[in-house]
Amino acid sequence: MNALTLHYHPLSSCCHKVLIAIDVLGIEVDKRLLNLGDPGERAAHLALWPTGKMPLLMDGLRPVPETSIIIEYLQRHHARPGRTLIPDTPDAALDVRLWDRLFDLYVMTPMQALTADLLRPEGQRDAHAVAKAREGLSSAYGFIDRHLEGRTWVAGDAFSMADCAAAPALFYALAYVPLPPQHGHLAAYVERLMDHPSVALTIDQARPYFKFFPGRSGLSHRFFDPATT
């Protein structure tokens, strides 16, 4: 059995970020689908890592949590020769880490807030929090679009950890807050992301689960067609 085990769910945006990186880095892992709604599975997962969050990488008996840490750990210890997502040059590496955090904090987080609100009973939904999350996404789209002018990838000439973070964050966020027409740089970038082989593979593997995504009505029919589900 492979010493590397990834505890994950194929619908999770955070898991997508790591799955994309695993494919880019050319690493073989045992993927263990995690159902946190099952009390037994949740208890076993909490015994591995007390926050209970996923994904969680296990390298033998060593738990490696948190998406950015997992990716950096995998690159450092398990990537195929020549495969990288974080450059060796310190300043370039900082730029990748910066944009990785920006996508996690300013796109992924408000997107997850919108998802969480839909999972609440209708009488417990928070219209103020929803409006704030939507405004946050609109603001993020604007500064990302400006940054992308003249760029192929978000942090340098090569696909990086920052793009691993961007792909699932934007994929799900756009189901809630579509891009306005003036953000052409970001729109083109999203198309490049969706066409990247590792991103496309991760999305394709998640297709059977999109029917469970609370914001599925906003997904492009390119990825999810309710009529064929």
- The phi, psi pair for 158, rounded to 5°, reads -110, 150
pTM: 0.95
Q: How many of the other CB atoms lie within 10 Å of CB of 195?
A: 9
Banded model confidence at residue 1, pLDDT cuts 50, 70, 90: very low
Q: What are the two backbone dihedrals, phi and then psi, of residue 218, each rounded to the nearest 5 degrees?
A: -95, -5
For residue 84, how far is the Cα from the chain centroid? 18
Q: What is the pLDDT of residues 19-58, one digit of tens each?
A: 999 999 999 999 999 998 899 999 999 999 999 999 999 9
